[in-house]
Chain A
Amino acid sequence: MRCPACDHENIPGEDLCADCGMDLAGLDVQVWGVDPEDPLLAKPLAELPLNKPLTLGSTCSVAEAIELMRENHAGCVFVESKEQELVGVFTERDVTVRIASRGRDPEQTRLGEVMTSGPVVLQRDDPISWALHRMGIDGYRQVPVVDGERIRGVLSSRTVLQLLLDS
């Protein structure tokens, strides 16, 4: 720990400079973690370039969902009710876990049978810090951003990483 007044090299953790007696307490303490005041983290999700959500009804087949995901290079489709309320999600991982590894026929399986009901959602005015936190905890690659019950966009981990690079 170098004394800011006289440049004397002190033992780490020393409270007073051994040479000039300057108060060194707390000077070498590194504050842990990310700055919560970071303006990047406080931005609302509505200001981010969200992806357009792909949506289908629950009676559509898994084959249709797979086709839609392929065409749009997307990782999931959202399932909407007739009233256009978000009721479920069907992801790339579900294709592996619930269809391919079990040998189910995608043509014969309805989305309603294999989707995950009641997906975790984010609100348009949620701050980025909250979105990152949810994605980190839940491990989701895509999270729907809603306004009331209706889906307005998708936040992907790629968008999040791109945002960090641009920051």
Chain B
Amino acid sequence: MNTLRDLMTDNRVLDLGPLPAPRLAPNATLHQALQFLVRGRRGAIVAVDGMRPVGIFTERDVLRRLPAGKRDTTPLSEVMSKPPATIRRKASLREAIEAMVEHGYRHLVVVDRDGELKGLLTSNDLVQYLTDQFPEETVNLPPRLRQQYLSPEGA
């Protein structure tokens, strides 16, 4: 039986399967970026030049910068964070978690050896992957552990 610690060390980012990365060119408009954020459901979009990530635009960026009266035609390159925080596909989950916790990031852009975009890793992907490894007994526990059944099972 594994512990969560083993899982974090033994599994790599690429073991998580496909990690969709909604992407746009840096000259896309803020309007397009917002639509992508809404539809992409990943909490962030990656600005790319070809296959190379050059920036990231997250829901946090919207919260931080938007109501300051930016117009819908503002280019993405003016509102995105750059350069984006990246992680190699072959990094362990522990390395990914450390990078997120240390800097407070909830998104890491996944790249291959050549620095080309391979996906977008979110903190939820990590939580979800780790909890997917729980055996059924754990997830089927009643939320109230001290809950008493009124009659014996099967009675």
Contact = CB atoms under 8 A, between A and B. Distances in A.
B97 to A, nearest CB: 5
Interface residues of A, number: 45
Chain B binding surface SS class: helix
Contacts, number: 134
B35 A165 contact: no
Nearest to B34: A101
A35 B131 contact: no
Given A34-B134, A101-B37, A70 B63 contact: yes
Contacts of A132: 127, 130-131, 134
Given A101-B34, A132-B131, A33 B1 contact: yes
Given A106-B67, A158-B100, A33 B2 contact: yes
A127 interface: yes
Interface string B1-17: 11111011000000000
A40 B8 CA distance: 15
A32 B63 CA distance: 41
B85 interface: no
A60 interface: no
A139 B130 CA distance: 13
Interface string A51-72: 0000000000001001001100
Interface stretch (B19-27, B48-56, B110-118, B139-147): B139-147
Interface of B: 1-5, 7-8, 34-35, 37-38, 43, 59-60, 62-64, 66-67, 72, 94, 97-98, 100-101, 104, 106, 123-124, 126-128, 130-135, 137-139, 141, 143-146
The 3 A-B pairs with the shortest beta carbon distances in the complex, nearest first, are A136-B131, A33-B135, A35-B1
